[in-house]
Amino acid sequence: MLGTHIDGSDNLSYGVQVGSARYFVKTAGRPDDRAGGSNHASRVALLLNAVRISESVEHPALPNLVNVIESAWGPMLVYDWRDGELLRVPSGERDNPGSPFQRFRSLPAEDILKCLDVIYDLHYNLAEAGWIPVDFYDGSLIYDFTSGHLSIIDLDMYKPGPFRNEMGRMYGSSRFMAPEEFELGALIDQQTSVFTMGRTALVFLSEGTVDEEAFRRSPPQFRVITKACESDRSRRYDSVATFHAAWRSARTS
């Protein structure tokens, strides 16, 4: 065993090595364990949702779901292993220049842009399959500083959309969340996804601000990102597809 991990959905995961092969195994944990506040049935539901996502979308950034093993504790999802470091760090360590988060932000801007291309391409495919991001943030990103490969994980809370906000403040990091994700009854749809994608660029390329001088790339790219991050949803791109097309155009201009 290569270690254990509890994610934001309270599911329990293991790194496992079998011979020379390594796997990431995700489980719902013991039925009587409510240490994280969620019950076993809800954790199982999220695992089954993750299976549906893996079955509907294939992408190089997504670890391959190798197998689903039924156990006394519910399904065990076996993924291929991805090397790298999780970009999320505790908020108190976010300014530490040695943290994975700051080391990633310190990469040449073009390297970060290539990662954004990957994130946007995946979410274009997810949107085409009907999925809306919920709880996407830097805790969803594993970056291999040696190979430059980005992996995207823990999409278990993504939902078919559009849907209504039934929580008020939804799950997620406020650094990445749209205004409607804080508003009970608000519509959550692809324009929400667009906002999240825009905020991702601002977090990594301009310290989360919409100050053009702080944005480390071209004016056309900045205009695409700020349009995506409009608080007035009617002023954003109307879909992930239109955002993705505008971003690709700005990348080549």
Convert the pLDDT of each residue in 220-240 to its tens digit.
999 999 999 999 999 999 999
Alpha-helical (H) ranges within the chain are 40-56, 100-105, 109-128, 190-205, 219-228, 240-252
Query: How many residues can be counted in the chain?
Result: 253
> For position 5, what pLDDT does the model report?
46
pLDDT of residue 227: 97
The values of phi and psi at residue 95, to 5°, are -90, 0
Is the pLDDT at 209 greater than 80, yes or no? no
- SS3 of 182-223: the string is HCCCCEECHHHHHHHHHHHHHHHHCCCCCCHHHCCCCHHHHH
Q: Out of 85-94, 112-121, 201-210, which region has the weakest mean confidence (pLDDT)?
A: 201-210
The SS3 call for residue 175 is: coil
The predicted model gives 72-95 an average pLDDT of: 94
* Res 57 pLDDT > 80: yes
Give the model's confidence band at 19: pLDDT under 50 very low, under 70 low, under 90 confident, else very high: confident
pTM beyond 0.85: yes
Task: Write out pLDDT tens, residues 6-15.
Answer: 444 578 888 9
Cα-trace Rg, the chain: 18
pLDDT at 131 exceeding the cut of 80:
yes
Q: Is 97 helix (H, G, I), strand (E, B) or coil?
A: coil
Is there a contact between 196 and 140 (Cβ–Cβ < 8 Å)? no
Statement: residue 4 has pLDDT above 60:
no
Main-chain dihedrals φ then ψ at residue 162, nearest 5 degrees = -75, 165
Which tokens is 105 given? 């932000």
Q: Are 124 and 116 in contact (CB under 8 A)?
A: no
Say what percent of the chain tops pLDDT 70. 94
Look over the chain and give the mean of its residue pLDDT values, rounded to a whole number: 92
Predicted confidence at residue 64, as pLDDT, reads: 97
Estimate the crossing angle of helix 190-205 against helix 240-252, to 10 degrees. 30
Q: Give the pLDDT score at 36.
A: 59
Which two three-digit tokens encode residue 219?
């004016």
Domains in the chain, please, with CATH? Answer: 3-80 (3.30.200.20), 85-252 (1.10.510.10)
In whole angstroms, give the CA distance from residue 71 to residue 204. 40
